Chains A and B, each alone.
With several copies, the nearest count.
Chain A
Amino acid sequence: MRDVPTTQMKVIEAIRNGLDVAMDLDPHLICYGLGIDDPKRIFGSTVGLAEKFGNGRVFDVPTSEAAMTGIAVGAALRGVRSVTVHQRLDFFFLAMDQLINNVAKWHFMFGGQRSVPIVIRLILGRGWGQGPTHSQSVHSWFAHIPGLKVVMPTNAADAKGLLLSAIFDPNPVLFLEHRWLHEAVSDVPSGDYRVPLGQARIVSEGGDVTIVAMSFLVPEAIRAAGLLARHGVGCNIIDLRTIRPLDWDTVSAGILKTGRLLALDSGLPICSVASEIVAFASERHFQSLKSAPRRLTMPDHPEPTSFGLTRGLHPSAESIADTVCEMLGLPHRFAPDPNAGPHDVPGAWFKGPF
């Protein structure tokens, strides 16, 4: 990080701060989405913006996800950047035509004459009975599509820095925030702080196994590394930060360094980012792999609602550590922390219902 003052902030505050900075920098930047100026302010991420920048630049919209996405394209063509927000990614399926046929392709299909610099914030749900239609993350879909950039921040500094880069990138960027990370605190540089898109972050530099992760799996991987360290196993953890374009150089270096790869994915398994990373590793680095590369993802079914069915649904520090031990032929297995709170909330701060 550069030599600028930092403040401890939650992810959600860092996003708010990033929006504030961006709206100051670009007098035409607009922010809109259902509830953006309501009492809850998108989990707090837009507090004060409507007051500061006015209803012309920060406004609530009808429940019309498809049109609101195409409208962002049109505004961008007229020189007006935007940050749209959807309180759950699950609602954004309504906008797939606009996303794929217009947002992702406008630059290409008109021969590069226009670009569509827009940011779409998609909030990912999990637990507290979010269930099949309030918990989905199809980042792997988005990673499939040329023309899109896809960001999945893990901590507050990255959330702000990636958001500012996304806003001022000439391309459309999907910004996937996990609800469970919203309250995670870290030092955040003030002002126009940017983290480049397309650069992964090396979280830890162990030598035994390379763990590639995104979003809420990065803190799980870090916890797993802690468990494994007690057994002398060193983890090389890569936080992808950007899912597309993916930082293949950093991933390659990690694979070459340890010869062992575990790809984590916060979404469904089949045709996932984890699949892509494992495929890349075996296609490009076959000779350097010391053991079969592995994946750990959510299971191949929707998230059920019941508290009784969601325990162990997603990869956790323990399942990650177990898998690493399997890969290394070590006997250790890790039991869940008996003092952990209920498995379906990110922490005591989460009170439901949404």
Chain B
Amino acid sequence: MNTQLPNDPSLRLVREMLRIRMVEEAIAREYPKGEMRCPTHLSVGQEAVAVGTAAALERTDPAVSTHRAHAHYLAKGGDLKRLLAELFGKEAGCARGRGGSMHLIDLDVGFEGSTAIVGSTLPVGVGLALGIRVRAEAAVACIFLGDGAMEEGVFYESANFAVVRKLPALFICENNSYSVYSPLTKRQPHGRQIHDVVRALGLTTAAHDGNDVFGVAAAVKTAVQAIRDGGSPVFLEFSTYRHLEHCGPYPDDNLGYRPEKDVAAWKARDPIVQAQERLRDHPGFSGEVIERWRSEIAAEIDGAFAFARTAPWPDPSTRAEYVYA
């Protein structure tokens, strides 16, 4: 169903962001029907980090992620039908309906798993990097995390071990300034830069605009190359912003927990709009191209929803399976 993708890398980045946006918006639209019955954290507004990062990775590079993983999963190449089927709780879901939105996996594209406990995949990602080292492989383990995960002690333990053993680990931190409704100011000291802390731990670090997909892709590419060349593990911090509520399908700016002017400023810096502007003079890009993408993607999404909706439930008699291998 995935139609011919543009060959031009920049166009691909934009199309992929658009696709993820449209998927998330479709989920948001459909969620209130009560068919996707699981806690669901949408990535609208944060697509550039996922897309830019995935573009700089090989398909075989393993990745782990968090509760907010749809974008990471899709950008890495995860199957859309199986994502939606998972949200619908169907046997065809990427985790056979056992995990839901917060537990995504697609081994065909190196998406090793996202989990729902903040910080809990950080050491798993470092362990992937250790496995890569032990097996003398060339891969890089990509570890997505949020600014909140930085507050879990296991982050420091994981990062420290990665440095001590110089493992091929790439941390991608999406700093959206919030953990649920709690701003960074309540959780971390004023003026602290997350990447400064991590640099002191001994990782190579940098901070970038997380709403500039081209910048993200370039930064990650450099980092991945450095790691493959045997450098230290890298931690990249990307500032970005979530458009919808923390968990669930709705906007929640009515709650007033984020300053209105921040919301407005960040929405004005929508990663997709910005990227389109940057591509204005690109020969392969135009309003029609966008419209074509939109309709291709809409069709893909419709098909995937139809698939997920009509797919069978897991057989209840298999409920106790998969406890032991």
Let me know if chains A and B touch directly in the complex, using CB atoms closer than 8 Å: yes
B131 touching A78, Cβ below 8 Å = yes
Of B97-105, B214-222, B277-285, the one contacting chain A is: B97-105
B130 in contact with A133 (CB, 8 Å): no
Contacts between chains A and B (CB distance < 8 A), count: 299
Contact of A38 among B96, B97, B129, B182 (CB under 8 A): B182
**Residue A35 contacts which of B128, B164, B181, B319 (CB distance < 8 angstroms)?**
B181
A62 touches B134 (CB 8 A): no
Q: What residue of chain B has the Cβ atom nearest to residue A198's Cβ?
A: B324
Taking chain B's interface residues, is the majority helix, strand, or loop, or is none over half, making it mixed?
loop
A170 touches B325 (CB 8 A): yes
| Interface of A: prevailing SS | loop
Binary contact track A87-106/B, C-beta < 8 Å → 1, others 0 = 00011011001100110001
Whether the Cβ atoms of A132 and B134 lie closer than 8 Å is no
Q: Given the complex, which residues of B lie within 8 Å of A90, measured CB to CB?
A: 116-117
Q: Is B323's CB under 8 angstroms from A302's CB?
A: yes
Contact in complex: A74, B98 (CB < 8 Å):
no
Q: Which of A258-310 contact B (CB under 8 A)?
A: 299-302, 304-309
User: Which of B43-51, B155-163, B290-298 touches A?
Assistant: B155-163
Which one, B32-40, B225-233, B261-269, is touching chain A? B32-40
Taking a contact as CB atoms under 8 Å apart, the answer to whether B131 and A61 are in contact is no
Give B144-185 interface residues, CB cut-off 8 Å to A: 148-149, 151-154, 157-158, 160-161, 164-165, 179-182
Task: Give the size of the chain A interface in residues (CB under 8 angstroms).
Answer: 80
- Interface residue B190 (Cβ < 8 Å from any Cβ of A): no
A112 within 8 A of B: yes
- Which residues of chain A have C-beta atoms less than 8 A from B286's C-beta? none
Q: B224: CB under 8 A from chain A?
A: no
Q: How far is the CB of B123 from chain A (nearest CB, A)?
A: 3
Are A64's CB and B151's CB within 8 A? yes
Query: Which residues of A, 103-137, contact B by the 8 Å Cβ criterion?
Result: 106-115, 117, 128-134
Instruction: Collect the chain B residues with CB atoms within 8 Å of residue A131's CB.
Output: 38, 98-100, 102-103, 116
Q: Which chain B residues (20-57) contact chain A, with CB distance < 8 Å?
A: 31, 34, 37-40
CB <8 Å contact, A352 and B39: yes
A107 and B127: CB pair below 8 A? no
Contact in complex: B188, A133 (CB < 8 Å): no
Some 14 contacts from A to B, beta carbons below 8 A apart, are: A39-B256, A59-B186, A60-B182, A67-B122, A70-B123, A74-B123, A77-B124, A101-B115, A102-B117, A113-B105, A115-B325, A131-B102, A306-B313, A353-B31
- B residues near A, CB below 8 A? 31, 34, 37-40, 62, 64, 89-91, 93-103, 105, 107, 112-113, 115-135, 137, 141, 148-149, 151-154, 157-158, 160-161, 164-165, 179-182, 186-188, 247-249, 252, 255-257, 313-314, 316, 319-325
